[in-house]
Structures are given as C-alpha cells and as structure tokens.
C-alpha cells in the first residue's frame, strides 16, 4: 500500500510540474507574439506629425496584410534621407487610375511615424506629374474606408 501511495504521489507531482511548465511556456510565447505584433503594428495617422517631402522612388513593393489585402509601399529617396512610404491598398490605387514605378519623382504629404524602429511616412496625398492621389482626409481617415477610422 505504501508503494502504491508513493507512486501515486510521484505521478501527481510530475503531472503538476508538467502542467505548470506548459502554462509558463504558453504565457511566455503569448508575450513574445504580442511584442512582435506591437513592433509590426502600423500606427494611426497623426496630423500633428504631418510633413511634406519630395523625392524619387527607389522601389515599389506590394505587401500582403494579415487579412489578405495587398498594400503598396514605396522606398522614397529625398535629398535628406530614404524613407518607406505606406501608401494604401493596391486595389484602391488602381481604382484611382494611379501607379508608381522606380524612378518616378513624387511629392508626399504624410504622417511621420516610427515602425519597427525605423522612420516612415503614412501617406495622405501623393502628387506625381501634376496629378494628386488623395488617400486620406486631413484627419488621416482612409478614403477607402468609407469615412470610418481603421488601422491604416
């Protein structure tokens, strides 16, 4: 009987230890994922950080978001720096009959933000060849959202 009791006690102790370890690992991985997501999350447009910059497009990228949409990003080289410009959904840009290519000279009005420890611009308006693509209103609400603020 003593042997059975000792075996049961060891088994229970091992089971509790494994459960505690599993919970600890789950908490640590959830925290790591949360930190990773917060580094990747794009801040909202802030009119207080709005700037206007001119430059030449070095690269055009189509990036797929978490929900499957495709967004256009530009690498813009100005006289002072090189910045990533978050433009908006590629489908919205195409609907507006606008396009971007490496070598295009553009002017961007946008909110200066920090994303993943790098300076970037969330574009509100982009002018190319005298034509202006309006992406957001003056409060930063995306034109494609129907007037509702979303993560932009």
Q: What is the secondary structure of 49-95 as a DSSP string?
A: GEEEEEEEEEEEEEEE-TTS-EEEEEEEE-SS-EEEEEEEEHHHHHH
Question: Does residue 66 sit in the same domain as residue 141?
Answer: yes
Distance CA 59, CA 123 (A): 16
Distance CA 2, CA 6 (A): 6
Question: Does residue 26 sit in the same domain as residue 87?
Answer: no
Question: Does residue 63 sit in the same domain as residue 29?
Answer: no
Beta strand 105-115 with 82-89 is: unpaired
pLDDT per residue as tens, the chain (152 positions):
555 555 555 555 555 454 544 443 444 444 444 444 434 456 789 999 999 999 999 999 999 877 778 899 999 999 999 999 999 999 999 999 999 999 999 999 999 999 888 999 999 999 999 999 999 999 999 999 876 554 44
Three-point CA angle 88, 89, 92, nearest 5°: 105
Residue 150 forms part of a structural domain: no
Q: What is the extent of the structural domain holding 35?
A: 1-41
Question: Does residue 91 sit in the same domain as residue 58?
Answer: yes
Distance CA 19, CA 17 (A): 5
Residue 151 forms part of a structural domain: no
Give the total number of structural domains in the chain: 2
Three-class secondary structure of residue 137 per DSSP: coil
Residue 134 forms part of a structural domain: yes
């Amino acid at each position: 009987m003593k042997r059975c009791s000792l075996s049961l006690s060891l088994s229970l102790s091992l089971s509790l230890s494994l459960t505690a370890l599993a919970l600890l690992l789950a908490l640590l991985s959830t925290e790591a994922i949360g930190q990773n997501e917060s580094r990747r999350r794009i801040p909202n447009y802030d009119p207080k950080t709005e700037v206007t910059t001119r430059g030449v497009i070095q690269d055009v990228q189509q990036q797929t978001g978490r929900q499957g949409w495709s967004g256009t990003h530009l690498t813009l080289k100005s006289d002072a720096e090189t910045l990533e410009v978050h433009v908006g959904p590629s489908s919205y840009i195409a609907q507006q009959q606008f396009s971007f290519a490496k070598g295009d000279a553009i002017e961007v009005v946008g909110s200066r933000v920090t994303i993943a420890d790098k300076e970037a611009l969330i574009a509100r308006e982009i002018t190319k060849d005298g034509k202006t693509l309006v992406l957001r209103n003056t409060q930063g609400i995306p034109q494609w959202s129907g007037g509702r603020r979303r993560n932009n």
